[in-house]
Amino acid sequence: MPQLPGLLKGLGVTARTAMRTLFPKRGIRTLIPAPQQGSVTVQYPHEKEAPPDRARGVIALHEENCTACMLCSRSCPDWCIYIEGHKVKAPPRRAGGAVRSVNVVDRFDIDYALCMYCGICVEVCPFDALFWSPEYEYSEPHIADLLHDRIRLSEWMETVPEFLDYEPGSEQKVRKVPEFGIDDFAPARKLEADGARELASGAGS
Amino acid sequence: MSPPPTASALREQQAYVAAQAADARVNVELDTGDMTLNIGPQHPATHGTLRIACQLDGEQVISAEPLMGYMHRGYEKLCEVRTYPQCTTLINRIDWLGSFANEVPFILAAEQLMGVEAPPRAQWIRTILFELSRIANVSLFLGDMGVQVGALTPVFFAFRDRERVLNQIEEVTGGRFHPNFDRIGGLKDDIPRGWIAETHAVMAKMRGFCDEMEDLLMGNEIFQTRCRSVGVIPGDVALSYGLSGANLRASGVDWDLRRDANPGLAWDQVDWRVWTHPDGDSFARYWVRLQETREATKIVDQLLDGIPSGPIMAKVPRIIKVPAGEAYVSTENPLGEMGYYVVSKGGLGPFRVKIRTPSFSNISVVPWVMRGTYVPDIITILGSLYFILGDIDR
Amino acid sequence: MADGTGDERPDDQMGDEAREALAAELSELLGDAVVESHVEAGQNLWLRVDIEQWHAATTALRDAGFAYFGFLSAIDWTDAPEGRYEDTEFDAAGAGEDDDASSATAEETVRRGGGETRFQLLAQLHSPARHAAVLIKADVPEADGAPASVPSIIDIFSGADWHEREAHEMFGLVFNGHPNLEHIYLPTEFEGHPLRKDFPLLARAVKPWPGVVDIEEIPPELEAQLEAEVMAEFEASGAGA
Amino acid sequence: MTGALGLAYWAETSIKLGVALIVIPTAALMLGYLFLLKMMAFMQSRLGPQDVGPYGTLQLIADAVKFLQKEDIHPAAADRRVFRAAPVVVLASSFLLFVVLPTGPDAVVENLDTGIFYAMAVSSLSVLGVLMAGWASANKYALLGGLRAAGQLIAYELPLILAVMGVVIQADSLNLQEIVRAQAEGEIFGFGLIGNPFILTQFIGFLIFMISAQAELTQTPFDMPVAETELVGGFHVEYTGFRFLLFFMAEVATAFAFSALATVMFLGGWWIPGFDFDAPVLNVLGPVVMLVKILVVAFIIFWIRFTYPRLREDQLQKFAWKVLIPLSLANIVVTGIFKVVL
C-alpha cells in the first residue's frame, strides 16, 4: 500500500513543471509570470511553427529546368504526377548554331491528395526541376483543389530554402537552388517570344 | 538509478489467481451471466482500431480475443507491385512512431541480396537515426502507459520531449514521421552542420525526461500497485508466442538482436548493455523500456562523437535491380524484432516481401495473458505490451 | 544490477563455419526429413524439409533449443500476370538489361530450397541460447488446383496460431489441427486469397498508369519545314548576323 | 427565524436563493477555469485556453454555450425518464450541499443543527444519480461505471463519515457554525490567537477526509467510475450536450463544496483571527477568507488528480477496508480518549 516517497515525488514533478511553465524567467524577473515563454506549445494560427529547412512540405517546380522526361511520373509510387508535353523547335542560342529541339511542359500536375511525400520524384529528377519546400499551409476544403498545376507548383519555388551546409567529415557537395524570379513562370511563353515554333505555319490544324 | 525490482511476482500472482478463483466460485453460486464487452475498435486504449472481444463475468475477463484488420493495408501485396525505392515509402508507415527503424532491415535485406555494403559513415548515421527513432517511439510509450492507468500528465511530458527528438530526425531526413531516408547502398543525404551538437543537447534532455518519468510514474506506488503482478508472461511462454523486444526481455530472456545478430550497423562499436527483468509483468515491461530509452541516449551520444568521415553512398546503379535470391534480415526495432523476408526474381521490385512485425506476435499473447484478469488490467496489459496498430495490421 | 545480465557480448554473431556446422548437426538430427540445406554466406541458414515431416521437424528443432518462434508464412512462386501494372514495355526495358536474370532465377530459387511446387511454407526459429537462427521451408504440393493441407504447429509454438491464420487467408493454405482457422485480417465473407499472385490488385487495375504518357513529338513530315521556318525567322531578326 | 439584517423571511430567502444560484455556477466555472484548464495546462508545459476572453477566462462559458446548442440525444434502448433524471439528481446533490455551508456569522443559507449529518447524507445522493445514469444508458461501459460508483460508495463513504466523527466529537456539535466556533474559540495549549483549527488535532482525520473526498468526487486516483481509458467516460458515456454539462457542473461544484466542507471542519472556516466571532463585518470578509481556503484545498484535490494514476476497484476496496477504516476508527478512539481525559 502507498508509502509516501513515490507519491510525493510525483507531486513534486508536476508542481515543478507548473512553476517552470509559469515563471520561466531567471534572476530578479523570476516573479514575473510568463507562461507564453514557459510553455512548449505554439499558438498555431497566431504564430507559425517553422519546420526545418529540409522538411518535406510541398514540392516546388522550376519549370524552366523541366524537360518533361517523365522520370518523376514513372517513379512515383502513388501515380500522382501527371505530365504532358510537346516538342518545339527553338532558334539557336547564338549565330551559327543549329535549330534546337526543346521539350515544353503543357501539364505538370501533382495530386497532393494522393501524394505520400516520399520525395522520390525530387530525387530522380536529373535536371534540378523539383525541390522540396517546408511550406505546409495549403489545405483545401475540396479535395480536388489539392491537385496543384504547374503555375501553383512554380509559385512554391519562392519558398524553397537554400540547401544546408554539412557537418565536417562529409563528402557531399552542397547543391544550389536555382534563382527564381517572376519571369520564370511559364517558360513556354518566353520560348515563344524568342521565336520557337511548334507547328509550321500553314501546317497547323 | 532506479531501485532494483524484487521478484516476488510469482507468489503474488498465485495469490491473485487464488483470489480470482474464489471470486469465480461466488459468481457461480449467484449465477451471474456473462457479458460480452467489445473494447474497440474505437477505444482510447487501443491506439487505433484494434478490437478486443471480451467475455466478462462481472469485471473479470473470461476470454479476450483480439480481432483486427480494421487497418489492414496489404503492404505485402503492395510491395510486390513497387520498385525497391518505392517500397521504403510504404515500410515507413508500418510502425509509424519509429519509421526510420522500419526502413533499415528492408534496406539491409536488399543490400544483402545485391552484395552492397553501405560506407561506414552511412552505417553510423543509420544507427544514430535508428536509436533516435527508438527514443521517439518508446518515450511515447513511457508517457502513454500513464494514460492507460489513469494519469493524465505523463503523456503530455512524453509528447513534449518526443517532439525534440522528432525535430532532430526531421532536420536530417525532412520527415518527422516518415523519413524515407535510407537508400540501398547508403543514405539519401548527409547530416547538416550543427546537428551533432544539437542532438547531444536533446539526448541530455531525454535523460531528464526518463528521470522525470521515473519520479512521476514508475516510482509512484499507485502505478506499481496497478502494474506489478499484472499480466505476467513467463519466459518460455514469451518465446513460444514469439514475443520480442522489451516484452521478451521483461520476461527474463536475454535476447537483443542489436547484440546477438547485428546485421552490420554500428552497435558493436559502442559500449552499452541489454536490460532484462525477471518478473515478466506489466511493471517489468515498463521498467525495461525506461532503461532502454536511457541506454539508447547513451548509445546515440557515443555514436555522435565517433562518426567516421567519408561518403554516405556506396556505388550502386541508378536503376536498382536486385539479383535473384532470398534474404531475411531482422533488427531490434523499438517494438521488437522486425524482419523482412525479401524474395527477388531479379526485377526492379521484390517478388515477395514477408514483413515480420513485432506487434503482431506481441499481441498474439493477449488471449493467453488476459484470462482471469479484470477490465482495468486489460488496459494495463495492452498498454504495457505496447503495440502500434499499423505494426499489427501492416 | 542483479536483474540484468552482464554486458558480455558473444563474440561470434554466428560465423559461416558455425552455420555449416549447425546445418550438418541439424541435418543429422532431423534425419531424412531434411530434403536439403543451404548456407548463405554471412547471412542465414535454410533447411528444406519434407512437408510430411513438417510437424516432426519443428518439434525436433524446438527440442534442440530452437524454442523462439520468429514467424511463419508462405510464398506463391508463380509470376503475377499483371506484373507491376505499369507499362509492360517500360517494365521490360528495366528487366531486359541482363537477359540471363530470368534463367538464373529458376536455378537460384531451387538452390535455396524451394520453388518446386507453387506454394512454399516457411518459418523462422531462433535459439536464444546458441545465438542462432534457422529458416525452415517446405514445398506444399497441390491437389486439384488447391494446395494440400499441411500440419499445424500450433501445439508446438502457440505463437504460430495467428501466423497460420494469416497464411490461410492470404494463400489459402489449410492447416490440419488448427482449432480456429478463420480470417484474421479480412472480413469473414471475403473471397479469394490476396497474396496469391493471380489475385488482382484492384487499386492499380482501375487507374491508368500516368507514366505511360510520352512527350508529343513533332510530326516527322513537318520537322524539316519547321526547322527551316525557325531558322529563317532567326536570321531575319538579325541575330544570325 | 429572522436574520441579522432584520429582513422579512421572504426577502431573506430570495436573497439567499439568488446568491446560491449565482455562487454555484460561478464556483464551478472558477474551479474549472483555474484548475481544470489553467493549472493542468501549466503542469503539462502548455498554455491552456487563450482565445476566449482575456487569458481564455471565458472558455468554459463558451463551452457551456456550445453544449447548450447540441442536440439532446438518447440511446435507443435507454430508459428515457431515468436517463433524463440522472444528471439532475447528481446536480441536485451538489446544490443541496451548498445549503449548509457557512461563510459568515449570518452568511449561511440554512444553519441546520445537524448540518454535517445533512451534508454527508446529501452528498451520497449523487451516487444514486450516477447509478441511474449508468443503468439507464443501456450501455455496457456506462453500466460498469455505474456499478463501480455504487461499489465505491461503500468503500469511501464509511471512512468519510468516520473522519468527520472526530471533528464532531471535538466540537461537540453537528452544526457547522458551531464547528467553526469551536475552532475559533479553541486554544492551542493556551495560545488562542489563531484559535484551534482542527487540522492540527485531527490531522489524520483531515487526510482520511481528503482521500475519501477524492473518491466521492471521482477524481484520480479513484476515478474508476469515469475511467476515460478503460470505460471511455463510464456512466456519462452516452450523455451529450446539456445533460453532460450538468454532470460536468456537478462534478466541479461538488469539488468546490467538499473543499468548503474541509475548510469549515479542519481549517477554521470563515473566521479571521483577531475578529470577534459575531462581528457583522465577517459577513463580508468571511466569504473571501473561505474562498481563499477553498482554493487552497481544491488546489490539492486537483493537483493529485493531475499527477496520480488510478487504482483498480478491488485495490480501492482493499485500501478502504484495510487502511482507511481501521485508521479512522483508531482516530475516533484516540479523539474520544482525549476528549474524556482533557
Name the residue among B91, B190, B73, B74 with its Cα closest to residue B133: B91
A50-74 confidence digits (pLDDT tens) = 888 888 889 988 888 888 888 888 8
B–C interface: beta-carbon pairs under 8 A = 173
- pLDDT of C86 > 70? The answer is no
Chain A residues touching D42 at Cβ < 8 A: 17-18, 21-22, 35, 38-39
CA of A202, closest CA in chain C: separation in Å?
10
- pLDDT of C224 > 80? The answer is no
- pLDDT of B286 > 60? The answer is yes
> In a mutagenesis test of the D interface, which of A3, A11, A37 is the best target, namely the one with the most D β-carbons within 10 Å?
A11
* Interchain pair C159, B275: CB under 8 A: no
**B162 Cβ under 8 Å from any chain A Cβ:** no
**B164 Cβ under 8 Å from any chain D Cβ:** no
**B151 Cβ under 8 Å from any chain D Cβ:** yes
d(CA B329, CA C70): 12
Contacts by D289-293, CB closer than 8 A, 24 or more apart: D290/D103, D290/D260, D290/D263, D293/D259, D293/D263, D293/D267, D293/D268, D293/D269
From the CB coordinates, do chains C and D have 3 or more pairs under 8 Å? Answer: no
pLDDT of residue B29: 59
Mean pLDDT, range C135-147, rounded to an integer: 80
Q: Who contacts B219 (Cβ-Cβ below 8 Å, separation ≥6)?
A: A5, A6, A9, A10, B2
Q: Which residues pair with A88 in a beta bridge?
A: A102
| Count of beta carbons in the 10 Å neighbourhood of residue B219 | 19
Does residue C237 belong to any structural domain of this protein? no
Contact A180, A62 (CB under 8 A): yes
- pLDDT of C75 > 50? The answer is yes
| Count of beta carbons in the 10 Å neighbourhood of residue D283 | 19
Please tell me the CATH code under which domain B75-393 is placed.
1.10.645.10
Cell of B43: 477505444
What does the DSSP 8-state code read for residue B322? P
Domain ranges of chain D: 70-341
Residue predicted with more confidence, A193 or B211: B211
3-state helix, strand, coil in chain D (%, to 5): 70, 0, 30
Chains touching chain C, criterion 3+ CB pairs below 8 Å: A, B
pLDDT of residue D277: 72
What does the DSSP 8-state code read for residue B374? B
Cell of C111: 538452390
- pLDDT of A18 > 80? The answer is yes
Chain C residues touching B242 at Cβ < 8 A: 68-71, 157, 159
φ/ψ of C139, rounded to 5, equals -75, 135
Cell of D317: 476496496
Chains touching chain D, criterion 3+ CB pairs below 8 Å: A, B
Does residue C184 belong to any structural domain of this protein? yes
- pLDDT of A203 > 60? The answer is no
pLDDT of residue A204: 41
Q: Who contacts C169 (Cβ-Cβ below 8 Å, separation ≥6)?
A: C183, C184, C185, C186, C190, C193, C194
Q: Which residues pair with A81 in a beta bridge?
A: A110
d(CA B285, CA B14): 20
Mean pLDDT, range B219-237, rounded to an integer: 85
pLDDT of residue A185: 61
SS3 string, chain A, reads CCCHHHHHHHHHHHHHHHHHHHCCCCHHHHHCCCHHHHCCCCCCCCCCCCCCCCCCCEEEECHHHCCCCCHHHHHCCCCCEEEEEEEEEECCCCCCCCCEEEEEEEEEEEECCCCCCCCHHHHHCCCCCEEEECCCCCCCCCHHHHEECHHHHHHHHHHCCCCCCECCCECCCCCCCCCCCHHHCCHHHHHHHHCCECCCCCCCC
Chain A residues touching B172 at Cβ < 8 A: 54
B40-83 confidence digits (pLDDT tens) = 787 877 777 888 888 887 778 888 888 888 888 888 888 888 88
What domain range is C131 assigned to? 16-214
Which one-letter amino acid corresponds to residue B390? G
- pLDDT of A139 > 60? The answer is yes
Cα separations in angstroms, B325 against B184, B349, C115: 16, 12, 12
Mean pLDDT by 10 residues, chain D (342 residues): 61 78 78 83 85 82 86 82 87 83 75 84 85 85 85 83 86 83 73 71 85 83 80 82 85 86 84 75 79 87 87 84 88 85 75
pLDDT of residue C10: 41
pLDDT band with cut points at 50, 70 and 90 for residue B5? very low
Cell of C89: 514495355
3-state helix, strand, coil in chain C (%, to 5): 35, 20, 45
Mean pLDDT, range A100-126, rounded to an integer: 85
What does the DSSP 8-state code read for residue C72? E
Domain count of chain C? 1
The CATH number given to whatever domain includes residue C59 is 3.30.460.80
**Where do we find the cell 517494365?**
C91
B297-355 confidence digits (pLDDT tens) = 999 999 988 888 888 888 888 777 888 778 888 888 888 888 898 888 777 888 888 89
Q: Average pLDDT of chain C?
A: 72
ipTM above 0.90, yes or no: no
Mind listing the domains of chain A with CATH numbers? 4-38 (no CATH), 58-194 (3.30.70)
B231-248 confidence digits (pLDDT tens) = 888 888 888 888 888 888
Chain A residues touching B215 at Cβ < 8 A: 9-10, 12-13
C168-209 confidence digits (pLDDT tens) = 888 888 888 888 888 888 888 888 888 888 888 887 778 778
Name the residue among C68, C193, C38, C34 with its Cα closest to residue B327: C38
Contact B179, B188 (CB under 8 A): no
Helix D140-171 with D241-266: angle, nearest 10 deg: 20
Q: To 10 degrees, the CA torsion angle through A184, A190, A196, A200?
A: 110
Give percent of chain B above pLDDT 70.
93
- pLDDT of C98 > 70? The answer is no
Q: Which residues pair with C97 in a beta bridge?
A: none
pLDDT of residue C94: 44
- pLDDT of A188 > 70? The answer is no
Does residue C223 belong to any structural domain of this protein? no
CA of A69, closest CA in chain C: separation in Å?
8
> In a mutagenesis test of the A interface, which of B189, B195, B218 is the best target, namely the one with the most A β-carbons within 10 Å?
B189
pLDDT band with cut points at 50, 70 and 90 for residue C92? very low
* Interchain pair A77, B167: CB under 8 A: no
* Interchain pair A171, B221: CB under 8 A: no
Q: Who contacts B211 (Cβ-Cβ below 8 Å, separation ≥6)?
A: none
- pLDDT of B18 > 80? The answer is no
